[in-house]
Structure 1
Amino acid sequence: MASEDSVEIERKYDVDERAALPPLDELPGVARAERPVEQQLEAEYFDTAALALAAHGITLRRRTGGDDSGWHLKLPGGQDTRLEMHEPPGNDPELVPPRFLQLVRVHVRDRPLAAVARVRTRRMLHRLRDDHNGILADVADDRVQADRLGPEPRSLTWREWEIELVQGSRELLDAAEAVLAAAGGRPA
């Protein structure tokens, strides 16, 4: 997989374990919701010991599983928007791609980057399509286990829903928010 950059437009919602994902094929412009596909994702998140990247809303991770295995750097953008950059996984899981190091150097200075968290996600991915079979959005129903690494390890589990636009509009994002909120989703 070659390096690639994209603008990510998404919203995430915390949800109770027993909540049912509502029907999505009635959202405006959605002709059908595909049957969900299960994905197993594992990621290590990298930062300084003082979490300098997280303090600036920056995410740096190396993930396996799903459609986009490899390194991901996410930089804050506008509302619901982040610039997402991808690089191939490489051979060394600890070797951050040089391009990403250059971009975050202003925040980390000379402090080393290391894995600070390990996250495992069981994702049920629902693809929303239009009348011409175009992909409007992906809706993920995630069950997440996160382990904080380092001197004070800690584990957390939670469930969240995520809707990420592919070719859909912000109107679809707003309509989905209303439907997900009515089913118990709370902005994450």
Structure 2
Amino acid sequence: MKLEELRRIADLLRERNRIDGEIAAHIGRPMTSGHLGEWIAAEIFDVELEQSASAAAWDGHFRFGPLEGRSVNVKWYLRREGILDLTSPLMPDEYLVMTGPVGAATSSLGGTRAWRIDSVYLFDAVGLRDHLLAGGRKVGTASSVRTALWAQAEIYPKPVNPRLVLEQDQVEALRLFAPAE
């Protein structure tokens, strides 16, 4: 047994628990990528979150702009691996997906998953589902989404998808979560 290594890991976990507790105090929910992603989306994209964090199919509704009133399921993937968890049979109107760097879905052995936002995508949920089904793809947990669809859905940093054009303050807020240079 490597007691010194165990001791160091225990110390790091205590520090992480302290930080997670501080974040939870700000967001009002336990610190997970799902809850924090929803909170970030609510702040930056003006999403009114559902009272229950376990609401089926969607996390909230857009409060303003071209998507006002539309339901949204928020995802924060620490790496964009080409997969998206889709709800079924209930579906939101939109999927708002924040991701870290692009990478293949490979073994996590020896790697890290940094808490960062490199890109944001907006998918029309029904359109995406119909496209996947027409191509013979599975719809549900870990649905495979082609690179071209990710590119078409991008709203940050490249404003490709015209359905949601970000204001400068939203872009600046997202940059706060960019990787350190």
**Normalised by the size of structure 1, how large is the TM-score?**
0.27
Structure that is richer in helix per residue: 2
